[in-house]
Amino acid sequence: MPGVFYVSTSFFHVLLVPIVPTHSFIVLDSPLERRNLLGAPRKGVALRHIHWQSVLMAWLRYILLLGSTGAALALALLVALRSAPLLITVAASLALGGALALALSYRAARASLSTLDRLAKVPGVPSELLASARLLMSRRRRASQSSFKEPSVG
């Protein structure tokens, strides 16, 4: 849930490839706590079990990143070699499609009320975090519902 928390999973990597998940954490997403990747660790709560949705999203994003990068490199090569327009179009579509899917994967992995209910049962998860998340979700839901209402004619 952007602005409140997110689930992060640490991996054992081989040549930058996330192979085996080692730990999952709930990380507080406060603008005051943001650091660069090599900076101080963020506040987080270790989960007892690996959060498999986080693992699957990490693997999916890695595949999308590799695929769109490979397609972009193929596109550059095809353009340099003045290949057939159909091949160039296919490579461009794959590169753009992969990049778009990668960007959309961050929107698709949003927390739900059922996620918050499950997190409430995890020892060590701050109740203030859950309360903030519920409040933010209810505000977003009200805002989206009010934006879809038809204007009254009177």
Model pLDDT for residues 91-119, shown as the tens digit of each residue:
999 999 999 999 998 877 776 777 778 77
Token code pair at residue 83: 């290949």
User: Residue 116 falls within a domain, yes or no?
Assistant: no
Q: Are 11 and 20 spatial neighbours (Cβ–Cβ below 8 Å)?
A: yes
Instruction: Report how far residue 43's alpha carbon sits from residue 28's, in angstroms, rounded to the nearest whole number.
Output: 6
Count how many domains the chain has.
1
DSSP 54: H
User: Residue 63 falls within a domain, yes or no?
Assistant: yes
- Which residues form the domain of 83? 5-110
User: Residue 21 falls within a domain, yes or no?
Assistant: yes
The number of residues in the chain equals 154
User: Residue 69 falls within a domain, yes or no?
Assistant: yes
Average pLDDT estimate for 107-134: 76
User: Residue 123 falls within a domain, yes or no?
Assistant: no
User: Residue 145 falls within a domain, yes or no?
Assistant: no
**25-39, 80-94, 130-144: the lowest-pLDDT one:** 25-39
